[in-house]
Structure 1
Amino acid sequence: MLWLRSTLYMLGWAINTMLVAVACMFALPLPYRIRYKLVTYWSDFSLRWLEITCGLKTQVIGTENLPKEAAVVMSKHQSAMETMALQRLLPFTAWVVKRELLWIPFFGWGLWSVRPIAINRSNRAEAGRQLIEQGSARLKSGAWIVIFPEGSRIAAGKRGKYKQGGARLASALGVPVVPVAVNSGEFWPRNGFLKHPGTATVSIGPAIPTAGKTVEQVRAEVEGWIEAEMVRISGVGPCWPHNTEPQQVHGPLAA
């Protein structure tokens, strides 16, 4: 049944993705907000369809921690669930993505239509300049900048290296960082096809100020909160690696 339900989900997801991508192309002459609503609809449908077909729900906790003004969001990344959940939750987003994602037929077209910050990770100097320049413009337009500090999806029970890009961007723009922890990989494993029933958690932490702090201090605080929260919310899903001890958290917020 897992295979059948997961296949049904992917069929519905693929059809919806193609339709929304084509709609976004036709909507290019129209105001940006219309294209954004189309992509938000895509996220909402994808999550609802996931619940209907696979019995996999998403709960978001800590929404009271979101600042009133747009900020930089640094999130753990384990599956596609958190991207859809954050797209649905935040009023406007500008995703920091690798440039290659825009080359994916249909999916990349829809992503391109909502003005992501698509960086070339093979050129670090250019990527850093682009992140600050485009991030500033997006933030001034009211968009929340969303970045995955570990760079890509991380398997449940694992921990990647936190990069400084998001902390450097927030410090340069003088805005706080909102840390986000997720356990979605315990239900929808990294690069996995099967989706298991249950309730995945997206946990939003208190905003971390950047004023008066070095980039490294901001990065360390973000990592400390996310990894401490990962210990708290992990280990509840069917795909949790039970032969793995909960990770030890180090840093200023480990206690």
Structure 2
Amino acid sequence: MKHSHLAFISGFLLFVILAISWCGKKPQTEVTGSPTPAQTSSPSSATLSPSPSASAPVAQPSTPPSSKTSSPEFQKVASKVGPAVILVTVFDRSGRLLRTGTGFFISEDGRFVTNSHIVEGGANAVAKSADGKIRNVTGVLTSSDELDLAVLKAETKTGVPFLPLKKGSERQTDTSVAVIGSSLVRREQPLAAATISARRSDQRGDRLEISNPISNDAEGSPVVDASGEVLGIVTPAREQGAIGTVVRPASTLGSLLAQIRSDTKPRWAAANSESLSPQP
């Protein structure tokens, strides 16, 4: 009886020991089976993944320098060309303001180019330059409504700064250019850099296609190269349904200038018609 009691106690203790050892093994399997190594490798892969994106910004700074290098060059061109760019103010016979526009001198004796629609119906005009000088415009020497270009004459005693026209019929495709507007029209520096992308023709004549769009405020402005020579002039698009601007090449201006004879006198058509039909 005593032996059976001892055997029962021994068996119970053995069961308790086995139960404790069984329960003790579970935490070990949970620890060894936990994804600690995977979690450790996961941060390392996360640390490596930003490296490609971190390398991307390194290539990005290569873009701004090109625009910065061209800007100072054309800023110098703008300061050189600017004195020859003028603001043209046109009046009718009664002295009422008709319109204003941009133009630029092409000869020392005061000849300048602007858009013909600016002077339409005009009887008098003045040309104001960036230095504040105001010159009386004596009239129109020649004009073309098709091209929307006109050559006028301003009075001068000492001569004026002027821009030379680019000579030669070679194509200027891929040439870097700048559109120089009047500083009297815009508050900021009137400079817009671009590239001649193509030379084409339309119903009105040859035109230069510019890589960047040109604001309508630039109508009448010269398009110059890095040396300050005029490659073209900005005119409004006159085709039906067309919007924006068109750049006419300097050769077109040359053809217009060829129409001016040595004895051609500047005149205002509206002023001359006043004597034919005087106002009461």
More strand by share: 2
Please state which band the TM-score falls in when normalised by the shorter chain: under 0.3
More helix by share: 1
| TM-score with structure 1 setting the length | 0.23
Structure whose alpha-carbon radius of gyration is higher: 2
Q: Which of the pair has the greater relative contact order for Cα pairs under 8 Å at 6+ separation?
A: 1
| TM-score with structure 2 setting the length | 0.22
